[in-house]
A and B are shown apart, each in its own frame.
Chain A
Amino acid sequence: MSKPKLVMVGNGMAGVRTLEELFKIAPEMYDVTVFGAEPHPNYNRILLSPVLAGEMKVQDIILNDHDWYRENHVNLHLGKKVAKIDRVKRQVIAEDGTVESYDRLLLATGSNPFMLPVPGNHLPGVIGYRDIADTDAMIDAAKRHKHAVVIGGGLLGLEAANGLKLRGMDVTVVHLGPWLLERQLDEVAGKMLQKSLEDRGLNFLLEKQTEALIEGESGRVAAVRFKDGMQIPAELVVMAAGIRPNTALAESSGIYCNRGIVVNDTLQTYDPKIYAVGECVAHRGIAYGLVAPLFEQAKVCANHLANYGIGRYTGSVTSTKLKVTGIDLFSAGDYMGGAGTEEIVLNDPAGGVYKKLVIKENKLVGGVLYGDTADGPWYFQLLKDGKDIHEIRDHLLFGQSTVGDVGHQGQNKAAAMSDEAEVCGCNGVKKGTIVRAIKEKGLFTLDDVKKHTKAASSCGSCAGLCEQILASTLGGAYQATASDKKPMCGCTEHSHEDVRRAIRERELTSIKAVTEFMEWTTPDGCEKCRPALNYYLISTWPHLAADDPQSRFINERAHANIQKDGTYSVVPQILGGVTSVEQLRKIADVAEKYHVPTIKVTGGQRIDLLGVKKDDLPKMWADLGMPSGHAYGKSIRTVKTCVGAEHCRFGTQRSMDMGIKLEKMLFGMWSPHKVKLAVSGCPRNCAESGIKDVGVIGVDSGYEIYVAGNGGIKTEVAQFLVKVESDEAVMEYTGAFLQLYREEGWYLERTCHYVHRVGLEHVKSKVVEDAENRKALYARLLDSLKGVKDPWAERVEGELKREFEMLAVQPA
């Protein structure tokens, strides 16, 4: 049976991105034909400015080379402009007479530069700024002529002016508005930008209206005349006064257009066989001219072309960044402010820094950064997440580093880093390597960067930094996704939040039920989503959902920690770090019997036996006769204690006892990530309660409970939750907090990240202020831990032991 035919008109970034998304989810579905009016394969149009400025070459900005089209069996017509769509016969006809039939048609015709309707706008030497041919024309003009005029002081105009100046021309930018980039900047930032561009030798004429372009003796343009009578020489005039959706083909075929080809939230036009994406589209009345929203459209459109029927495009908040080397400028959202908004401003004209954040009802709604844009992506993320910022308001303007979310080595200014600087300390990836991969391989997401460079793919502490590098390298093409909308993994569109909700509300109790109900694109998920799903199921439906060992990482399947050489480590439970002669003797005997090469005291006050072969594990566990210490799981780990009032002359509370009670209560508790506790007997805090998921500090009148501390990847000081008087209250509050985290946390999110996301206020409202809810949480925790067995004892004999047994070739 022959496949349905998909024809795409337009071979630009939005269209080809749609194909890429389509090939990812339904590679074999269509016979695909593409018409491109330009003679080039798909290239990165937003990098034309660096090409003009001489910083890159045309071949560097090709995104999909000819091989890509061949490998994906795309029938490619380059240099052929489509003249007509016959919607009755379902055919497209190119100017050269080429005819192709379609079952589905995708219009991605992009936009055209707006040519001012003034006399002389057709003269040689008058061009728009849109494609490789325009760029070549400018480079050529710069070799032979002296005076250039750029009409339009927007992003594109300024980038063109900068490039022409670098190529040796005298450049004047003519702008109708009162300041530059008035669609992206407020007046203060606009004036600062103008000053620094003037320092580079550019000239500006603001509030000038062009009246005519004057023809010279050669027939080429020679001058620009304004309404006020002023005239300046120009052998090159670049029109950068905006773009218009290219709807000529759609309109002539009777497809409804209104300042763009009108589409619904599935990117479908008024003809159901015809879809449209990109700059040619008007979605809810808006035609986007930046690449990031177009990629969002591409993803949704591909989903519908693949008949998945899910995903809606609901519009985009955009951010912009000017690609003029040496000038840092960032703006997003509602940067002008106005009624009902508040502004926080930092203005240092001498230092060349200006920052303005616009806040409405405790949420960031827009901002402009000039001179120091390192925090642009972070602000943009806050804006998209709609995060309540009142807790961090007092240092919001000073950036992410002041709110404790810094990357590796405290490095958080991606743009300021040299190419040689190491970004990922785990895998030794330098900034230059990441930037090169982004440019050469056409990467657009953090996930792409992780896959191609391995940066941020181990501990993840440099993910924020990688995201910044991505943002500063891509400029306007960078698109932050709201965190609660980020897909779990490549198998699904759904976020962790969506999946947790569906499991709860739809009462899904198996991985199969989740992946079927939520339309996973892979048959049985991947190494990223399966462990998450397994955790969500067993934590939401304890005693109901069955644990799936094959969906657990090896450490949790083998109940031991895998080491670099494939051996394992054994850490028996030593409650509260308090041991005995009997325990120590058993551990020593076992270590001797199995020739354990390394014995190490752990940070969690236990003893680690390292270098154990997998098939020895059950035998060792049997000989030890001690329960598992869970030193390997996304689970309760240890409760660290100091000696406390039992011995210490300063101790106010019996911290060892309290720690042992907590550790016993939490035995066998699975959680989104590992959970570590500590109990100190006095504020000297020898058990380091200040950097634990739950830290308890004894004081004379009772206990203080701190939560969401972290001593690992990102050192975070725990935050004060509540002060209580009795041991029972410590158990209840601790249990309730951990249960809240177990129910709301996303897989692999430590408590510090979880509380950072939901806010301490939220935690307090559920655990401290609402006694009934606290008791209910505590009861659910105890219920889910009811009947928990020691995993080691369960695996010493019987069915579960099979995991540890090797196979041998059987005699014939």
Chain B
Amino acid sequence: MSDWKKICTLADIPRLGARVVQNAGGDIAVFRTAADEVFALHDKCPHKGGPLSQGIVHGKRVTCPLHGMNIALDSGDAVAPDVGHCDKFAVKVDGGDVYLKI
């Protein structure tokens, strides 16, 4: 059953950056935007499996480091005209700590 699990503090994730959470079902990328919003996606680009956590974060998007596909952080969808979807995970910040629902 999925449950909220603490993974780190907000300060552990750089602004406009990401951290990777090791997970049996595949690594999860946890992103932090300039406005301190936090999003979590399966760390695997729908295009050719690139690690999204390593991409450049801008606005509410991340650019895959391998071939430059842009993924919307809030939906996991590829930004048009590209097509593709990446699984997302619920994530929340509470008292400076980041919790992931897995």
Contacts and interface: CB of A to CB of B under 8 A. Distances in A.
Nearest to B61: A526
Contacts of A554: 54-56, 65
A339 interface: no
A808 B63 CA distance: 24
Interface in B12-35: 12, 14-17, 19-23, 27, 30, 34-35
Interface in B35-78: 35, 48-51, 54-59, 61, 63, 65-68, 70
B93 interface: no
Nearest to B14: A550
B6 A550 contact: no
Interface string A510-522: 0000000000001
A810 B56 contact: no
B90 interface: no
A562 B66 contact: yes
A584 interface: no
A809 interface: yes
B95 to A, nearest CB: 14
Given A550-B16, A566-B51, A809-B100, A452 B81 contact: yes
A551 B6 CA distance: 28
Nearest to B57: A550
Nearest to A453: B81
Interface in A771-812: 802, 806-810, 812
A549 interface: yes
Contacts of A809: 5-7, 21-23, 100, 102
Nearest to A457: B68
- Secondary structure at the A interface, as helix, strand, loop or mixed, is loop
B19 A807 contact: yes
Contacts of A293: none
Contact of A810 (B6, B16, B51): B6
A806 B43 CA distance: 12
A251 interface: no
A530 interface: yes
Contacts of A530: 56, 58
B12 to A, nearest CB: 7
A807 B34 contact: no
Contacts of B61: 526
Nearest to B48: A564
Interface in A458-477: 458
A796 B57 CA distance: 25
A451 interface: yes
B14 A810 contact: no
Interface in A497-549: 522-527, 530-531, 549
Given A526-B58, A807-B19, A812 B5 contact: yes
A630 to B, nearest CB: 18
B23 to A, nearest CB: 7
B48 A551 contact: no
Nearest to B15: A550
B69 to A, nearest CB: 10
A522 B59 contact: yes
A553 interface: yes
Nearest to B81: A452
B66 A812 contact: no
A67 B90 CA distance: 33
Contact of B7 (A525, A549, A562, A810): A810
A527 B21 contact: no
Interface of A: 441, 451-452, 457-458, 522-527, 530-531, 549-551, 553-554, 558, 562, 564-566, 802, 806-810, 812
7 contacts: A457-B68, A526-B58, A531-B56, A550-B56, A554-B54, A562-B51, A812-B5
Given A566-B54, A807-B7, 20 more contacts: A441-B81, A457-B68, A458-B67, A524-B16, A524-B58, A524-B59, A525-B58, A526-B56, A526-B58, A526-B61, A526-B63, A530-B56, A553-B65, A562-B54, A566-B49, A806-B19, A806-B20, A807-B22, A809-B21, A809-B102
Interface of B: 5-8, 12, 14-17, 19-23, 27, 30, 34-35, 48-51, 54-59, 61, 63, 65-68, 70, 81, 100, 102
> Which 6 A-B pairs give the minimum distances between C-beta atoms?
A527-B63, A527-B56, A550-B16, A554-B54, A566-B51, A554-B65
